[in-house]
């Protein structure tokens, strides 16, 4: 069932590309890199590093008929940091790269356009990462997987040229699949673990492309309140009852040609993982290319 959902989302993107004359397609690709290095004779304690990130944002929209409007988005990002280290003889060497950015986020929404104050919608979302390195003995590809099915009401507050503001509220059901989890080292035993929960989800998104300054801005706020959890007994302090928050900001500035400055900021709160607000910020100067 899970593989079918992944296949469905990939088909949406592929069909959108094939039907470019009917679909409204947007897509960008960006690549950023920063580098610094120091010789063996450098007196300070600084270490050289190379950090690179690559990402793309794709979307395909289409008014399927007078009643249904389909929106599909795909966000991909991956990056690594290469850190310089010093061996026992005092010589510098480059250590094995470590992952710094990793994200797969695909979503498909089907909205009804009934010309009312709010309109019904159904949605399907898949979130994962390219490499799961949490288990030192096994690198797992595209793991863990989180699927979210949602349904409710949506409202477009603003739709004017490149500027858009929309919100949606509804019921959501999530399945978290963690594959090949180590449960016994000797003998080695692994199993797939699945957690299912359900609750209420609120999402609001704003995006705009400011012309002629070539500045783009997108922000998305997601709040999820679980009402039940299939593994509620595993939580000593009922952390699963705390609302989850994910607030993302993307700011892009085209400086000259394909040269661009990109800033990403994320505020994340998931008490099941850690009881504090998490902050992620990346900024880089690199190349950006419009795919469509």
pLDDT over 90, % of the chain? 55
Give residue 44's pLDDT band: very low, low, confident or very high (50, 70, 90). Answer: low
Tokens of 218: 């997108």
**Predicted local distance difference test score (pLDDT) of residue 18:** 44
pLDDT tens per residue across span 178-234: 999 999 888 889 999 999 999 999 999 999 988 777 888 999 999 999 999 999 988
Q: Which residues contact 112 (CB under 8 A, 6 or more apart)?
A: 67, 68, 69, 119, 120, 121
* Chain centre distance of CA 58: 12
Q: Which domains does the chain have, with CATH numbers?
A: 2-37+49-290 (2.40.230)
Give the integer Cα–Cα distance in Å for 183 and 161. 54
Mean pLDDT (the chain, rounded): 87
Buried b (16+ CB within 10 A) or exposed e, 217-229: bbbbbbbbebeeb
Q: Which residues contact 83 (CB under 8 A, 6 or more apart)?
A: 47, 48, 49, 94, 95, 97, 98
To the nearest 10°, report the CA torsion of 147, 7, 206, 275.
Answer: 30
pLDDT tens per residue across span 79-133: 999 988 878 887 778 888 999 999 999 999 999 988 889 999 999 999 999 999 9
**Predicted local distance difference test score (pLDDT) of residue 12:** 52
Q: What value does the CA radius of gyration of the chain take, rounded to a whole number of Å?
A: 22
**Predicted local distance difference test score (pLDDT) of residue 20:** 46
Tokens of 264: 């990403």
Q: What are phi and psi of 10, to 5 degrees?
A: -65, -40
């Amino acid at each position: 069932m899970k593989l079918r959902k992944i296949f469905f989302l990939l088909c949406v993107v592929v069909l959108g590309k094939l039907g470019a004359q009917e679909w409204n397609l947007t897509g960008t690709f960006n690549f950023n890199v920063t580098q610094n290095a120091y010789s063996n004779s450098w007196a300070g304690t600084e270490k050289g590093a190379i950090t690179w990130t690559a990402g793309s944002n794709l979307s395909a929209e289409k008014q399927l008929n007078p009643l249904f409007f389909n929106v599909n988005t795909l966000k991909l990002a991956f990056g690594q940091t290469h850190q310089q280290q010093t061996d026992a003889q005092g010589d510098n060497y480059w250590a094995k790269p470590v992952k710094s950015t990793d994200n797969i986020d695909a979503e498909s929404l089907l909205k009804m356009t009934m010309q009312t104050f709010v309109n019904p919608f159904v949605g399907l979302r898949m979130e994962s990462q390219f490499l799961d390195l949490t288990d030192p003995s096994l690198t797992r590809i595209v793991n863990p997987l989180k699927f979210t099915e949602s349904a409710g009401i949506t409202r477009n507050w603003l739709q004017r040229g490149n500027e858009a503001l929309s919100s949606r509220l509804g019921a959501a059901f999530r399945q978290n699949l963690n594959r090949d989890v180590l449960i016994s080292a000797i003998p080695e035993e692994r199993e797939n673990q699945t957690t299912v929960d359900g609750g209420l989800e609120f999402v609001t998104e704003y995006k705009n492309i400011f012309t002629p300054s070539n500045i783009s801005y997108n922000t998305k706020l997601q709040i999820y309140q679980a009402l039940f959890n299939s593994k509620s007994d595993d939580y000593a302090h009922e952390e699963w009852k705390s609302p989850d928050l994910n607030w993302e900001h993307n700011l892009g500035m085209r400086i000259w040609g394909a040269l661009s400055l990109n800033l990403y900021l994320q505020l994340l709160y998931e008490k099941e993982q850690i009881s504090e607000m998490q902050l992620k910020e990346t900024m880089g100067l690199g190349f950006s290319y419009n795919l469509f």
